[in-house]
């Protein structure tokens, strides 16, 4: 065992490694507090598997992720289509596939694959995509296909992928007029879906089973304060109680009272329990600081590396991770409507932990080549 541990070499950005381990410790403490020993044991297995994949991925030369992204993109399309044919419904949403007894969300694969694919396309065709026609073919069409396949069962993930794609295009210095046009089309499409779902729910539910849920959450969010208090999602009500109970110093590890009342307290709303137990400083500000450090380190890596593909990978993937974290936190404190997004590296989960760890592993792979000054171009 000691020989195995001695052979483990953590390469790449050491600060990112430190933050990953810190967030993992938070995860273990909070899952034990919210779910107990039985779930903790299962979570530990998934967490160690995730960290194992992170370690293995960070050893791979990042240039190979260009080809992996292409393969992952087409596999994602097939898996997302299979969700419509043989998807497993969990908590009212058909987002899962079950293969050989193993359940997973293809959207997690698609969320990572499309960013790898777009980073490859943006770096490989950077001269051509100045023309909107080529931008549409090489970048926008693949992004639209993935978002469209995820949208019927998971609006928030589809919107998140769309925003991540826009950020990646901005970092790649795509003409800002093109980006504004894309945003306008996206807002128009979202507004059209909302109007149709609200005025003709029976028709919309045939194609988008979750559309009524989206409409109710949006309506409850954009009403006046008195009505909002009455209509506010039960989960958010309990989450706000947990945050309020935590106060400045928190109740202490394992002393949450809201964990038994708050649904998904170990996954979607784990941030609320974190604040309740550890308070404003260690339960809120410290995790926020850790996520900001991750993003800052990714920006530093991107600035050091000469590969366009590597730089886009770093910024795009880390923005996706950190942006999801802030969405989760803002939902827990009632600033945003419920989205179902987990807190990366902290929430209990299966495929979400695995693909979050793979994401960090890819970023560390880029940082490893940067620190060794062995630059690769896509």
Tens of pLDDT, residues 123-178: 999 888 889 999 999 999 999 999 999 988 888 899 999 999 999 999 999 999 99
Per-residue confidence band for 65, with pLDDT thresholds at 50, 70 and 90: very high
Asked, for residue 376, whether it belongs to a domain, the answer is: no
Asked, for residue 5, whether it belongs to a domain, the answer is: no
Token pair belonging to 7: 């052979």
Asked, for residue 378, whether it belongs to a domain, the answer is: no
CA separation for the pair 83, 105 (Å, rounded): 9
The DSSP output letter for 95 is: E
Per-residue confidence band for 375, with pLDDT thresholds at 50, 70 and 90: very low
Contact of 46 with 349, CB cutoff 8 Å:
yes
Task: Calculate mean pLDDT across residues 113-120.
Answer: 96
CA separation for the pair 209, 152 (Å, rounded): 7
Asked, for residue 174, whether it belongs to a domain, the answer is: yes
pLDDT score recorded for residue 39: 86
CA neighbours closer than 13 Å in the CB half-sphere of residue 298? 26
φ, ψ of residue 95 in degrees (nearest 5): -120, 0
**pLDDT exceeds cutoff 80 at 119:** yes
- Candidate ranges 232-236, 341-345, 374-378; pick with highest mean pLDDT: 341-345
Asked, for residue 48, whether it belongs to a domain, the answer is: yes
Asked, for residue 225, whether it belongs to a domain, the answer is: yes
Render pLDDT for 233-276 as a digit per residue (tens, 0 to 9). Answer: 678 888 889 998 988 888 999 888 888 888 888 888 999 999 99
Asked, for residue 162, whether it belongs to a domain, the answer is: yes
Contact of 203 with 196, CB cutoff 8 Å:
yes
pLDDT score recorded for residue 230: 45
- What is the number of structural domains in the chain? 1
The candidate with the shortest Cα–Cα distance to 139, out of 104, 107, 178, is 178
pTM of the model: 0.89
CA separation for the pair 27, 72 (Å, rounded): 28
% of the chain at pLDDT higher than 70: 89
**pLDDT exceeds cutoff 80 at 207:** no
Asked, for residue 255, whether it belongs to a domain, the answer is: yes
Token pair belonging to 114: 């499309």
Domain residue limits at 255:
11-371
CA separation for the pair 172, 122 (Å, rounded): 7
Q: What is the DSSP string of 29-60?
A: HHHHHHH-HHHHHHHHHHHHHHHHHHHHHTTS
pLDDT score recorded for residue 223: 60
pLDDT score recorded for residue 206: 67
What mean pLDDT is reported for the chain? 86
Contact of 314 with 62, CB cutoff 8 Å:
no
């Amino acid at each position: 065992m000691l020989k195995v541990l001695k052979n483990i070499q953590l390469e790449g950005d050491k600060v990112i490694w430190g933050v990953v381990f810190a967030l993992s410790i938070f995860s273990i403490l909070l899952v034990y507090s919210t779910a107990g020993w039985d779930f903790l044991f299962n979570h530990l297995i998934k967490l160690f598997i995730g960290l194992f994949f992170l370690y293995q991925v960070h050893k791979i030369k990042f240039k190979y992720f260009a080809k992996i992204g292409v393969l992952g993109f087409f596999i994602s399309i097939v898996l997302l289509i299979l969700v419509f044919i043989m998807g497993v419904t969990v908590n009212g949403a058909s987002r899962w596939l079950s293969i050989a007894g193993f359940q997973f969300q293809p959207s997690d694969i698609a969320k990572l694959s499309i960013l790898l694919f777009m980073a490859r396309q943006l770096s490989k065709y950077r001269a051509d995509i100045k023309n909107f026609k080529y931008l549409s073919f090489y970048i926008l069409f693949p992004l639209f296909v993935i978002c469209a396949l995820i949208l019927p069962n998971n609006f928030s993930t589809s919107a998140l992928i769309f925003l991540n794609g826009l950020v990646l295009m901005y970092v790649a210095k795509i003409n800002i007029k093109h980006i504004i046009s894309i945003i306008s089309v996206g807002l128009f499409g979202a507004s059209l879906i909302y109007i149709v779902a609200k005025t003709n729910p029976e028709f919309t539910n045939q194609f988008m089973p979750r559309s009524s849920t989206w409409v109710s959450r949006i309506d409850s969010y954009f009403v006046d304060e008195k009505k909002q208090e009455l209509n506010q999602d039960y989960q958010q009500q309990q989450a706000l109680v947990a945050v309020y109970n935590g106060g400045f110093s928190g109740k202490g590890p394992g002393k949450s009272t809201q964990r038994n009342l708050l649904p998904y307290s170990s996954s979607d709303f784990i941030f609320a329990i974190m604040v309740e137990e550890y308070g404003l400083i260690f339960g809120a500000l410290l995790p926020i600081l850790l996520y900001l450090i991750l993003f800052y380190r990714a920006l530093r890596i991107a600035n050091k590396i000469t590969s366009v593909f590597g730089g886009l990978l770093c910024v795009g993937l880390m923005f996706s991770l950190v942006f999801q974290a802030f969405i989760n936190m803002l939902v827990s404190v009632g600033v945003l409507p419920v989205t179902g997004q987990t807190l990366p590296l902290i929430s209990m989960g299966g495929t979400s932990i695995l693909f979050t760890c793979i994401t960090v592993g890819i970023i560390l792979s880029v940082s490893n080549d940067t620190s060794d000054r062995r630059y690769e171009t896509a």
